[in-house]
Structures are given as C-alpha cells and as structure tokens.
Chain A
C-alpha cells in the first residue's frame, strides 16, 4: 500500500482523467451515438420486416381461406339452384301431366256423351225405321192375306176365336 501511494503520480492522474473524459465525450458524440443508433435502427428494421412478412403470410392464409369459403359457397349455391330447377321441372311435368289428364278426361267424357247421344239417336232412328218397316210389312202381309174372301173370313173367325178364348 505504501508502495502504491508512493507510485501515485498526480500528473499522470490529471492527464488520464482529462484525456479519458475528453475521449468519452468525443466518442459519445461522434461514434457511440451514431453506431448504436445505426445498430438499433437496423435491428428495428429487421424486426419490422419479419413482422410484415408474418402479417403477409397471415393475410395470404386468410385470403386463401376466404377463397375456399367463397368457392364452397358458390358450389353450394349451384347445388341449390340445380335442386330447385329439378324440383321446378318435376313440378311442371307433374302439373302438365295433371292438366293433360283432366283435358283428356273431359274429352273422353264429352265423347262418351256424344256417343251416347248418337247411339240414342241411332237407336230411335232404328226404332222408327223398324216400326215403319214393321208397319210396311204388316200392311203388305195384311194386304196379301186379306186379298181373298176366304182369308178375310178365316181371320175374322180366328179373331173371334181368340176373343172367346179371352
């Protein structure tokens, strides 16, 4: 300790303090400040770039998910539309079928009615003709049978016979 104190040099201490503090101040202004700020700026830049890349990746993922969702929706919509169309078609066919059926039924009914009418007309016509014919035939028969006097007497007798019987 005694040697240390003996070795102490005030002049050296003076110069060392002055020079060191001077160096410290100069380096602070012209070296450490710009160096440290450059380093931290760069680090900040790297950090931001990484952050941005991460965000971009996330956005991409979001976009992809969105796309997929939209695609799925579109597919669903198409599916629905197709289903609806099919239903509509089926319904229309069904309706058309029904309509056709009623129309046909109507026509058939009408035809039946007219056929009946025709038939009835034909039958009545036939009846009148048969009646005419019968009358004609009967007339002719009568005419033939009653042409002779005998025949007339026979018929009267017969008729009288019938009356008796009754």
Chain B
C-alpha cells in the first residue's frame, strides 16, 4: 500500500475496486519496520503524483503502480511539427522512460513536454533545471485534448438531443431537458438579460451557454476518478478568456470605446489619466477571468489530492479515517465550486459584454 500512489481521486469510486487487490498485499507487521527514509519516499511520491496529475499528459493513465512499474491506461497519438509532420503513438516513450525514434529524429519526454534529443536522450539543463534542448511544435492529442474531444462530442449529442426533444414534445421539456432547462433559463434570465440588457443579450446567449456547460462539465469531470484536469489548466482558461476578450472587443460599440479612451463626464486632464487605466482594465478583466478559474480548480485538485495522499502517510485508522472524511467534505465543497466557478466565469463574461454594448442612455 505504501508504495502505491493513486494518481487520482479513485479512492472514492467503486469503479477501481478492480485494482484493490494490489493494495492488500502488505501486512501491518511489514509496516512496522518501515524506516524514516521510506516515509520520506512516499511523501515525494505523492507530491510527484499530484504534480503529474495537474499537468497535461501525452497518455491517458488512470492508475500507476510504481512497485511493478505498471501503468493502467492507454496511449494517445503524438503529433509534432519538426521540419514536417511527425505522427506516432505516445507508447513509444514508454511513459517517459525511453527515447522515441521517428524518421532519424529522437524525442524525449520530460515533465510532460517533448524535447528533441539524441539517441541516448541526453537533456542539457540551465540553472533552473529547465532543459535547453529544442522543443518541436507539439500538436499532440494529449490527455486534455482527448478529453475535450470526448466532452465536446458528449455536449453536442446531449444538447442536440434536447433540441430534438423540444420539437418532438411540442416545446415541453421532457427527461434531461427538464433538468437542464432551468439552468438554461437561469443563464438567460439571471445572467444574460440583467447584465447585457434585453436588446443585445440574444447575440451572446450561444457563447454564454456553451462556456457555462463546458466549464461546469469539465469541473465535474475533474472530480471523477478519471484523473482529468482540464479547467485547472492554465492554457485552457487562457483560451476561454481569450474568446471572451475578443467577443467583448469586437462587439464593443462607440460608447464602449469612448469610455476607454475619452471618458465622458470628467474634466479633460482626468480623461488623459483615465485612458491608460481603462485600457489596462480591458486586458486585466479577461486575465482575472483566466486566473480565477485556473487557480480555483488547480487549488481544489491540489488540496483534495493532498488529503487523499495524507491517508497513505498516516497509515493508521484514526489519521487516515480523519483525512478520508476531510477529503470527502472537500469533495462536496468542490462540487459546489465546480458549479460556482462555471457560474462566475459566465456571469463575468456577460458583465463584460454588457459593458461593450451599453448604450449612452442606459445610465
């Protein structure tokens, strides 16, 4: 049990009972003789496991057994642009243990990133322990990209089904539509209309609905034992915030730009002072959006996994039991956070769109 690190929140799920037999192979007598050095070992292992989980990966691993060196999962295609397209399966890396040779070029995996290397896989490091080797452009179908594909397909299936059920049932929500309709109505009546206004809200509904369900579903997926961390990834939230940013700027009316560059209703020296501040605000708003979602989900995963890791460090009934209940409570809170963060992202996006289309006489 000691050497086993559940990479994910699988502890709470029965779906991984399959692997439970690996955990029972040690007796308590064996535990008694564990020395301090090994104690430190497990801490490092848990830390590494958490860090590994939070990052994107080139293969989809549900569970790893470091004792036997076995990984349970599947590999994903790697797509590199390095003087031509290079496509191969991530199994070539053997979970980062070996160098992949593709068309006379060698690639090594180091902390989730692919570097060009030589046949031996030597990496040169700078003083911050960052490899100096050349990085090819990586368009791989990573774990996150794979998850996005799956969830996008799921969302498409789900909402098209709901749309069809409406036309079939003469506008009456049945089944899952009955569950999701209040949420759609909430986004329309409580988020879009109050923030954007009756006149313009329709233009943004598509984006608000899509981004809400996208973020919410991925937040929830992050709480499943599948080990997916999409919305806790900085790149993802950056891409989402960028869409909000561009939508705001491209749909901004004259009044919006006037408020940024030539604030009406204040004396002219103030206008000059306010312009750079307002302009900075244009970028800070989506930046805050990006950091908020990323940090919340990232922190949630870190805390939850650390608590689960504590169970293996305590390794006794009281301590492990305590951290079990603590992680259970945090899981419940995370369920709320999942919804809350999706709501906040949508709400603030709507608010920014509201600024962009605000008319002069709206004040």
Which one of B138, B152, B236 contacts A22 once the chains associate, using CB atoms below 8 Å?
B152
Q: Which of A23-31, A81-89, A133-141, A157-165 contacts B (4 or more CB under 8 A)?
A: A23-31
Contact of B142 with A20 in the complex, beta carbons under 8 Å: no
The listed residue with most A CB atoms (<10 A of its CB), out of B144, B166, B184, B233, is B166
| Contact digits for B229-251, partner A, Cβ 8 Å, 1 yes 0 no | 00001111011101100000000
Number of A residues, CB within 8 Å of B: 34
Contact present for A12 and B233 (CB under 8 Å):
yes
Q: Are A24 and B233 in contact (CB under 8 A)?
A: no
B328 at the A interface (CB under 8 A): no
| In the bound complex, CA of A22 to CA of B239 (Å) | 13
**Segment 251-273 of B: residues with Cβ below 8 Å from A:** none
B90 at the interface (CB under 8 A from A): no
Tell me the smallest distance from the CB of B158 to a CB of chain A, in Å. Answer: 8
CB <8 Å contact, A42 and B172: yes
- The stretch from B30-38, B202-210, B329-337, B342-350 touching chain A is B202-210
B74 in the interface (beta carbon within 8 A): no
Q: Known interface pairs A6-B130, A11-B137, A13-B239. Does A28 touch B206 (Cβ–Cβ under 8 Å)?
A: yes
Secondary structure class of chain A's binding surface, majority of residues: helix
Closest partner residue, chain B, to A34 (CB atom): B163
| Given A17-B239, A31-B159, A38-B166, A7:B234 Cβ within 8 A | yes
B56 contacts A by Cβ under 8 Å: yes
Q: How far is the CB of B11 from chain A (nearest CB, A)?
A: 27
CB-defined contacts of A15 to chain B, threshold 8 Å: 139, 141, 145, 148
Q: How far is the CB of B192 from chain A (nearest CB, A)?
A: 10
| Nearest A residue to B161, CB-CB | A31
Q: How far is the CA of A109 from the CA of B81 in the complex (A)?
A: 148
Q: Does A39 contact B (CB under 8 A)?
A: yes
Interface presence of B185 (CB below 8 A): yes
* CB-based nearest B residue for A44: B171
Within residues 207 to 224 of chain B, which ones have a CB less than 8 A from any CB in chain A? 207, 209-210, 214
B287 to chain A, nearest CB (A): 11
A23 & B235 in contact (Cβ 8 Å cutoff) = no
26 A–B contact pairs at CB < 8 A?
Answer: A9-B56, A9-B113, A11-B79, A11-B139, A11-B142, A12-B56, A12-B233, A12-B236, A16-B236, A16-B240, A24-B206, A24-B210, A26-B156, A27-B155, A28-B206, A28-B210, A30-B159, A30-B163, A32-B206, A35-B159, A36-B188, A36-B205, A38-B163, A38-B166, A41-B171, A42-B172
Interface residues of B (CB under 8 A from A): 55-56, 79, 113, 130, 137-142, 144-145, 148-149, 152, 155-156, 159-160, 162-164, 166-167, 171-172, 181, 184-185, 188, 202, 205-207, 209-210, 214, 233-236, 238-240, 242-243
Residues of A within 8 A of B (CB): 4, 6-17, 19-24, 26-28, 30-36, 38-39, 41-42, 45
